[in-house]
Amino acid sequence: LPIIFLMPVIQLVVLSFTATFELQNVKFYAVDYDRSEITDQLVRKFQANEYYTLVGQGMSESKTREMLSSGEIDMALIVPPAMDRKISKEQSVRVMLMIDAVSSNKASLIQSYSRSIIQDFNRSILPEYHWFRSQPRVAGISTHMRIWYNPTLDYINYMVPGILVVLITMIALFLSGMNIVREKEIGTMEQLNVTPIRKSEFIISKLLPMWMLALVELTIGLLIAYWGFGVPFEGSILTVYSASALYLVAVQGIGLYVSTVTYTQQQAMFISWFMMVIFILMGGLFTPIESMPLWAQKLTYINPVAYFIDIMRMVMLKGSGYPDFWPQMIALSIFAIASVSFSIKQYSKIQQD
């Protein structure tokens, strides 16, 4: 019991802080061949950003390459000679960014953030030059962004609902997967088969305790998410629990089926873990389903985790109701009926054997 209750809580707390794709602590090195006031301003512009840390400055590209190769820095900012003079003469200047792209996601974020900083810096310095001030002003289009559902763009708000789904899935799938097979291992399966208990009563007796336990875990996770991480809860708590109840039946049905077709708890654990990894990686927790290849997107149609992650994020962040995610609820209903039916059928075969 301590493992069952303590493990998900620790995982929720740890994963919510570590499973993030936000840009953090970008170490950069400045190679300044111009040595002018304007290049100093550009370097300070990067330093003023909370995500960037200046490691050092110099005039050697070979040293910069060595630092990139050794992992000492994530990016190098290389300013060409005569940058100030070229700008004052209405000439364009190219600034080089050398980025460590071992992690493609991090590299794309660094490139995007750095380009935004340089563009902002460019807009701020141009009014200082006479040739720019003499240019006629042309009316343009201004944009105003309004960010809905996650105004602060806090990645924790996006990740925590998905991590909650993973935690209750682990409880439901693993414990259910080892339930019936444990009876086989300790030799009590034959004793159960000769009792007058019905198949449906047997399956319900194996499903109900773990179902209630997973809902308790969900409650603890929701409290930690709301009070510990400040994740907004815009929807109805009854909607969350009703959708969770249906989802858990679907997942536990899969776990019980695994338990009926295996002969040892070790086999059940390996199969459950294999399915769990597939469900998580293709469920949209870390990578949006829309960004996956077309064949992978089609495979998510048979992934119950993908449906429930959608529901949790929609309810918690958007305040959505049943009319907004009825297709997902229908899919989970089909999964629940099919998985429990297959489990009952497979248990009937075990009794006959």
Residue-level pLDDT at 183: 80
Residue-wise pLDDT for 72-99, tens only, equals 899 999 988 888 787 777 777 888 899 9
> What pLDDT is stored for residue 331 in this prediction?
95
Q: pLDDT tens digits, residue range 310-353? A: 999 999 989 899 999 999 999 999 999 999 888 888 876 555 55
d(CA 280, CA 278): 6
The backbone torsions φ and ψ at residue 72, rounded to the nearest 5 degrees and listed phi first, read -70, -30
- Residues 6+ away with beta carbon under 8 Å from 214: 168, 171, 172, 244, 248, 252
25 contacts 51 by C-beta, under 8 angstroms? yes
Per DSSP, the three-state class of 195 is: coil
Q: Which pairs with CB-CB distance under 8 Å and at least 24 residues apart come from 64-70?
A: 64/29, 64/31, 64/98, 65/98, 67/29, 68/98, 68/100
Which 3 state secondary structure label does DSSP give 157? helix
* Whole-number Cα distances in Å, 209 to 176, 203, 338: 10, 11, 20
DSSP category for residue 137: P
Where does the chain have alpha helices with state H?
2-18, 37-48, 61-70, 83-88, 104-125, 130-133, 155-177, 179-186, 189-193, 199-223, 237-261, 265-281, 294-299, 304-313, 326-352
Under-50 pLDDT residues of the chain: none
Residue keyed to tokens 């301003």: 41
DSSP assigned state of 136 = P
End-to-end C-alpha distance for the chain, whole angstroms: 34
The burial class, CB within 10 Å (0-12 / 13-18 / 19+), for 163 is: buried
